[in-house]
Structure 1
Amino acid sequence: MNTAQLLPVFVVGLAGSIHCAGMCGGIVTAISVVPAQAATHRTPVRIVSMDSRSNGNDALLVLAYNTGRIGSYMLAGALAGGLAGGARSMAALADVQLGFYWLANLMLVALGLYLMNAWRGLARLEQGGRLLWRRIAPATRSLLPADTPAKSLALGALWGWLPCGMVYSALTTALLSGSAADGAAMMLAFGLGTLPMLTALGLLGARVAQTMQRRPMRIGAGLLVLSFGVLGLARAAGVTGVTGNLAPAWIEMLCLTPHA
């Protein structure tokens, strides 16, 4: 995989992390000590500032949490990419890849609209992910409060499986990577994109969330993600000057998924 292909995935993670700040669809934005009742995921998790903790441990706990979270993203990406890679012998693989290419870019369009609060379709998708989360959530209780790096790491690894339409969008792209290693690399780039926002939330709490939830911020982030999806769909549809041999180099760099 060309390293340049990871750049748009990183940017989508960076822009989409505004979604995390708003706790849309139950996304956990608390990276510090989380109230025990939040582990059931029955209600949105409120942001808990780490201001009351000793500053010496703050960064370490936040780093451990995010390491676990991104590690789970990479595992999911490896599973998705490996699944597609193992299916290379399928007779109709080209058609399957093209179908997933359309799906991946439609998911980006949906995510862009979701970030702008223009369409909440991804929230319905998150409902399906809660079936898995109900089995994982009880394990988080023993990790609360996450007052040590080891507990923060484990909590992040579990919370990485929280139902999230934004993550599902990235995983659809990882599915097209063709191998477990490339799928993991895509999800690593995506996770690193979300890192600045979630680190700031863990250290500064509600102050960051309130800023990021302003309408201009959400619209700007949504339009950026939406543009990636529209560009990919145009490429898949064979728009002149976008696909085939006429595609300029910058188009190749901005499309999240390889052209089918």
Structure 2
Amino acid sequence: MNYWTIFLTGLTAGGFSCLALQGGLLAATLATTAEEKNRTPDWLPTLIFLLGKIIAYTILGGLLGLFGSVFQLSDTVKIIFIVTASLIMLGLAGNLLDLHPIFRYFVIQPPKWAGRLLRKQGNLFLLGVLTVFIPCGITQAMEVAAVATGNIFAGSLTMLIFTLGTAPIFMALGFVTTRLSESFRAKFFKLAGALVIFIALSNLNAAAVLANSKYTWDNFVWAFQETFFTSDKSQVTSNTVEITATSGGYSPREFTVKNNEPVSVIINSQNNRSCARAFTIPSLGIQKILPENGSETVSFTPTTTGRIAFSCSMGMYTGIINVVN
């Protein structure tokens, strides 16, 4: 999962689901500090809460990434978690769009004992830290993504960016609920719901890539191009190919090799801190963890013509190898 998608997930599905779970606790605690309002700016208490939350989740992400470096998740486990998180996001979108009362069940409420405990705490920074013990459903999916990075730094960055994405929702909590009209709030939630659906579908596509499914967006695009546009993929200069891997994905994303001849793919990693470090060719069972800076080589011999997909371990960055005679 790329960091921009992680931020958008926090800003939309993650923000709203966490707001439903933790927003009441924040609002209740803010009410107990109302007498200090004349001495502090209105935004400062919420900022203190968010600071505690951001620090706690960043540390948690690093620990999860460290755990993932020891215990690597299989592609099957990753697919299950990605699909589960995507279905939860679709359910939350249904609730935001108010499609049916059944979608309210996707908004999980914290245990009563946790609410009582946190409301008793006058320290907003501590309240933010303690929210790690009542994560919303999307947060749990991001925690799995942090484990999947298999890297303490990438895990920390994953949770940091996700939590930063949720921050505007919490900062706007008072404004949205007290200043905006009912009709404007309804439009706002519909827009957010549509964005959540788009992100959920993107994640389902990533799961399809990892599952080596032919039903992916890239495959549909390539099939469309082959049907309506002339493209010469028979040009093969060498079966030794170099590609560059950065935090933004792979380049080039498509190249051609000859069938029944050894292929060497040299992957040059440059300031790579995203899931693009975990290079995989699902159909061949090839997985390679790249350094942040440096090169790795993947070798194989294709035995049939056609397309071979490659991607990062979360299916977010993709590419294709055309195999021709």
Query: Do these two structures clear the TM 0.5 threshold for a shared fold by scoring above it?
Result: yes
TM-score, normalised relative to structure 1: 0.65
Q: After TM superposition, give the deviation of residue 195 of structure 1 in Å.
A: 1.5
Please, which of 181, 184, 201 is the counterpart of residue 153 of structure 2?
181
Match of 2:113 among 126, 129, 134: 134
Superposition pairs of residues 156-195 of structure 1, within 5 angstroms = 156-195=128-167
Residues in 2 aligned to 1:135 and 1:33: alpha-carbon distance in whole angstroms: 13
| Offset of residue 228 of structure 1 | 1.2
1:240 deviation in Å? 4.6
Contact kept, 8 Å, 1:68 with 1:153, in 2: the verdict is yes
CA positional deviation for 1:102: 2.7
Aligned to 1:34: 30
TM-score w.r.t. structure 2 length? 0.54
Aligned to 2:199: 228
Residue 224 of structure 1 and its aligned partner are, at CA, apart by 0.7
> What is the DSSP-based 3-state SS (H/G/I as helix, E as strand, rest coil) of the residue aligned with 2:44?
helix
Identify, as 1 or 2, the structure richer in helix.
1
What's the secondary structure of 1:176's corresponding residue? helix
Query: Does residue 68 of the first structure (1) align with residue 52 of the second (2)?
Result: yes
Does the 8 Å CA contact 1:62/1:199 hold for their aligned counterparts? Answer: yes
CA distance in 1, matches of 2:249, 2:151: 24
Give 3-state SS (helix, strand or coil) of 2:158's partner. helix
Select between 110-119 and 214-223 the one with higher mean Cα deviation.
110-119
The one of the two structures with greater contact order (alpha-carbon pairs below 8 A, sep at least 6) is: 1
Structure 2's unaligned 5+ residue stretches are 223-247, 254-273, 275-310, 317-325
Shift of 1:222: 1.4
What amino acid is aligned across from residue 70 of structure 1 in structure 2? Answer: I
In the other structure, the counterpart of 2:10 is 13
Report the 3-state secondary structure (helix = DSSP H, G, I; strand = E; otherwise coil) of the residue aligned with 1:258.
coil
Residue equivalent to 1:147: none
**More strand by percentage:** 2
1:107 to 76, 84, 88: 88
Matched, 1:87 2:71: yes
How big is the shift at 1:6? 1.0
Q: Which runs of 5+ in 1 are unaligned?
A: 37-47, 145-150
Aligned to 2:314: 258
| Counterpart contact for 1:212–1:218, Cα < 8 Å | no
Root-mean-square deviation (CA), in Å? 4.2
- Match of 2:65, SS? helix
Q: Confirm whether residue 96 of structure 1 aligns to residue 80 of structure 2.
A: no
The separation in 1 between residues aligned to 2:199 and 2:132, in whole angstroms, is 24
1:127-177: CA deviation from partner (whole Å, max 9, x where unpaired): 5x63xx836853652x32xxxxxx221122123433523423433433433
Q: Is the 8 A contact 1:173 1:257 kept in 2?
A: no
Which residue does the alignment assign to 2:296?
none
**Larger Cα-atom Rg:** 2
Aligned length: 225
Q: Offset at 1:117? A: 3.7
CA distance in 2, matches of 1:116, 1:57: 34
Indicate if the aligned counterparts of 1:101 and 1:257 stay in contact, CA closer than 8 A: no
**How far apart, CA to CA, are the structure 2 residues paired with 1:165 and 1:190?**
13
Distance 1:206 1:233, change over 3 A: closer
Q: CA deviation at 1:25?
A: 4.5
Q: 1:245 to 1:77 in 2, by over 3 A?
A: farther
